[in-house]
Amino acid sequence: MPKRMVTAFSPAGISSFFEICDRTADGAAITDLARVGARGGGFGIQKGVLTEVTVSEAKANSISVSINGAPAPEAETTRTVAEMLLHRSSKFYKVVINHKVDVPIGAGFGSSAAGALTAALALAKALALPLTYNQIGRLAHAAEVQCRTGLGTVGPLMLGGCILTVEPGAPGISVIDRIPLSDDYVVVAGVFGGISTRQVLASEEKRREVNRWGRKTLEAILDEPSVENFLACCLRFAENAGFMTPRVRQLVKLAEKAGAVGVAQNMVGEAVHALALEENAAEIAEAFKQVLPIENILVAKIDFQGARLVGHEKV
């Protein structure tokens, strides 16, 4: 087989609130990765992860991953999903995966899930594996849960928009809804830094707080499913669940004063995302510049398409 190159894109997925769903009602760990997940909500945006996968036949399987041109041995979730797909092929391949990530990594933008999902979409196509969109999504979901880089981000990335995950699990099992939104909204994000997802998942006390407030937040949003109420509820979630820092509070105040429709904290990250109409976006970005360098401010339209293959297969 000649060399094949396939490209896929996924929106970044900004998480605004969540509830960890990895245990049964009696507290036992759920062992079926397809049943593990999260309830929650957030936004798909038009900036995200563009992944180019190149495959060529080889004597043994090998996988190399790079992020923005630099080798990325830490990209476990991508490597794991690539291994899952290679196991489905009867031949051996050299697989080269290049992620171009244009959102901050580790700050609540869903880059691990977007990387795994785009790698899976492109590699499944390059290997000519007979898999549906949801089947590919389920593999990316399993890889993310297994590597503890997230719980329920893959499914929302396949849809885009303003997402509500009402019931947890892998694509095809989870129940995902959306709050209808016109396409003239823009997300303005300000980022101080990341918070470790693994640490949040590991602390019993933090889990209890997250789950108590996560469930209440979902119920409050479903009672009044408007984007304004969504963001107001998510902001309360960040405060009540103990994620808010003085720097995040400062960004929230700046966004509100500059005319944001609403603002919430990224889950999980020391970062915020404000929703604005296009004509107000520049004003909010300017306000964030009072406390952040320009490279820590991101402006993007909402993505309503979800993850997809892009361009044509090249040889």
Summarised one tens digit per residue, pLDDT across range 220-267 is 999 999 999 999 999 999 999 999 999 999 999 999 999 999 999 999
At residue 119, does pLDDT exceed 80? yes
| Same domain membership, residue 245 and residue 106 | no
Supply 124's token pair.
Answer: 């499944």
Q: Give dist(CA 164, CA 15) in Å, integer.
A: 10
| Same domain membership, residue 34 and residue 140 | yes
Supply 51's token pair.
Answer: 């992944």
Q: What is the pLDDT of residue 150?
A: 87
Q: What is the pLDDT of residue 2?
A: 80
| Same domain membership, residue 235 and residue 88 | no
| Same domain membership, residue 161 and residue 22 | yes
Mean pLDDT, all residues of the chain: 95
Report the CATH number that the domain containing residue 274 is assigned in CATH. 3.30.70.890
| Same domain membership, residue 20 and residue 116 | yes
The rounded Cα 249 to chain-centroid distance in angstroms is 23
- Tokens 């969540």: give the residue: 18
How confident is the model over 149-190, as pLDDT tens digits? 889 999 999 999 999 999 999 999 999 999 999 999 999 999
Q: What is the pLDDT of residue 206?
A: 87
Strands (E), the chain: 4-21, 37-57, 62-67, 70-71, 93-101, 162-167, 175-179, 185-194, 262-265, 269-277, 297-301, 308-314
| Same domain membership, residue 172 and residue 189 | no
Q: What is the pLDDT of residue 205?
A: 87
Q: Give dist(CA 126, CA 105) in Å, integer.
A: 26
Instruction: Report the range of poorest mean pLDDT among 1-15, 69-83, 193-207, 234-248.
Output: 193-207
Report the CATH number that the domain containing residue 98 is assigned in CATH. 3.30.230.10
Q: What is the pLDDT of residue 199?
A: 73
At residue 311, does pLDDT exceed 90? no
| Same domain membership, residue 199 and residue 170 | no
| Same domain membership, residue 174 and residue 236 | no
How confident is the model over 14-48, as pLDDT tens digits? 999 999 999 999 999 999 999 999 999 999 999 99
Range of the domain at 265: 180-301
pLDDT mean over 45-60 = 97
The total number of structural domains in the chain stands at 2
| Same domain membership, residue 212 and residue 125 | no
- Tokens 């036992």: give the residue: 28
pLDDT mean over 110-115 = 96
Nearest to 154 by CA among 29, 243, 53, 34: 34
| Torsion-angle region of 239 (φ positive above 0: left; ψ -120 to 50: alpha; else: beta) | alpha
Residue 197: band (very low, low, confident or very high) from pLDDT cuts 50, 70, 90 = low
% of the chain exceeding 70 in pLDDT: 97
| Same domain membership, residue 227 and residue 150 | no
Specify whether the CB–CB gap between 51 and 118 falls below 8 A. yes
| Same domain membership, residue 98 and residue 17 | yes
Supply 311's token pair.
Answer: 């361009």
Q: What is the pLDDT of residue 34?
A: 96
Residue 314: band (very low, low, confident or very high) from pLDDT cuts 50, 70, 90 = low
pLDDT mean over 264-292 = 96
| Same domain membership, residue 186 and residue 166 | no
